[in-house]
Structure 1
Amino acid sequence: MVGSRLDGSELVAALGLVFVVGGVTLWWESILPTTDSIQAALYELVVHVLFGGVVLALGVHIERSELSPRDRFGVMVWCFSGFLFLLGLAVWSELSALLAGRVTVRFVSDVVVFGSMGGAFGVVAGVNHGRSVRNARLAERNQNQRETLVLLTRLLRHDIRNDMTAINGHAELLEDHVEPDGEDSLDVIQRRSDAIVRLLGDTDTLVETLETDREFEPIDLSAVLEDQVASVADDHPSVTVESEIPSGLWVVADGLVHQLFSNLLGNAVAHNDPEGLTIRVRAVTDGDVVETVVADDGVGIPEEVRDSCFELGAKGENSGGDGLGLYLVSRLADVYGGSVTVDDSRSGGARFVVTLPVAEPGAD
Structure 2
Amino acid sequence: MSLDTPDQTRSFPSVPCLQGAHSPRLVSVFGALSVAFLAAWGIAFAAVIGLTGFLLGIVTIGGPALGLLWGGYRLERSEIEANRYGRVCQWFVGGAVGFLSLNLLTMAFFPWHDLAGNVFWAHSSINTGAVGGFTVGYVEARAIQREVEATAATVRAERLEDERELLTYLNDLLRHEVLNSSQIIGGHASLLRTECDDDGARDRLETIERESDELIDVITDVRAMLDANRRPEPYSVVDLTALLTEEIDAFRARSDDVELEVDLPETALVRGNKGLTWIFSNLLENAIEHNDGGTARVRVTVDATPETVTVRVADDGPGIPDDVRETLFERKSNNHGLGLYLSHILADRYGGSVELAETGSDGSVFVVTLPHATSAVDEPALD
For structure 2, the 5+ residue unaligned runs are 44-64, 112-120, 379-383
Contact 1:281 1:292 in 2 (8 A): no
Matched, 1:186 2:205: yes
- TM-score normalised by structure 2 residue count: 0.64
Match of 1:222 among 228, 232, 245: 245
Structure 2: distance between partners of 1:269 and 1:62:
59
Cα–Cα, structure 1 residues 220 and 49, in superposed 2: closer, same or farther, change >3 Å?
A: closer
57, 75, 83: which one pairs with 1:62?
83
Instruction: Give the Cα separation in 1 of the matches to 2:149 and 2:127.
Output: 33
Match of 2:368 among 344, 354, 360: 354
| Inter-CA distance 154–7: structure 2 relative to 1 (3 Å threshold) | farther
Instruction: Assess if the C-alpha contact under 8 Å between 2:320 and 2:359 holds in 1.
Output: no
Taking the TM superposition and a 5 Å limit, the aligned residue runs for 1:135-150 are 135-150=153-168
Counterpart-to-counterpart distance in 2, 1:179 and 1:285: 55
Aligned equivalents of 1:254, 1:5: Cα separation in 2: 44
Shift of 1:153: 0.8
CA RMSD, Structure 1 to Structure 2 (Å): 5.2
In structure 2, distance between residues paired with 1:247 and 1:32: 74
Q: How far is 1:97 from its partner?
A: 4.6
| Residue 332 in structure 1 maps to residue 353 in structure 2 | no
Please, which moves more after superposition, 12-21 or 201-210? 12-21
- Distance in 1, Cα, partners of 2:211 & 2:110: 92
Go from structure 1 to structure 2 and tell me whether the alpha carbon gap of 1:118 and 1:348 turns closer, same or farther (over 3 Å shift): farther
Q: Which residue of 2 aligns with 1:244?
A: 262
Tell me which of 319, 324, 328 is aligned to 1:300.
319
- Cα deviation code 1:285-330 (max 9, x no counterpart): 423555332223444346787575334x141xxx2443x1112212
Q: 1:196 aligns with which of 202, 211, 215?
A: 215
Name the counterpart of 2:277: 258
Q: Which residue of 1 aligns with 2:177?
A: 159
Which stretch of the first structure deviates more once superposed, 152-161 or 13-22?
13-22
AA partner of residue 165 (structure 1): Q
Larger radius of gyration: 2
Tell me the CA shift for residue 124 of structure 1: 4.1
Letter in 2 for 1:207: L
Take 1:10 and 1:302, find their aligned partners in 2: how far apart are those partners? 65
| Pairing of 1:163-178 with structure 2 (within 5 A) | 163-175=181-193, 176-177=195-196
- Once the 2 structures are TM-superposed, how far is the Cα of residue 138 of structure 1 from its aligned partner? 0.9
Q: Distance in 1 between matches of 2:133 and 2:197?
A: 89
Query: Matches of 2:11 and 2:326 in 1, distance apart?
Result: 51
Judge conservation of contact 2:243–2:277 (CA < 8 Å) in 1. Answer: no
Q: What is the total number of aligned residue pairs between the two structures?
A: 329
Deviation at 1:362, TM superposition (A): 9.7
Do the aligned partners of 1:220 and 1:251 also contact (CA within 8 Å) in 2? no
Deviation at 1:98, TM superposition (A): 6.7
Alignment CA distance shift 1:230-1:13 (3 Å): farther
Contact 2:247-2:277 within 8 A present in 1 as well: yes
CA distances 1:33-62 after superposition (whole Å, capped 9, x unpaired): 9578xxxxxxx899689849x79xx99943
TM-score normalised to the size of structure 1? 0.67
- Residue 348 of structure 1 and its aligned partner are, at CA, apart by 4.6
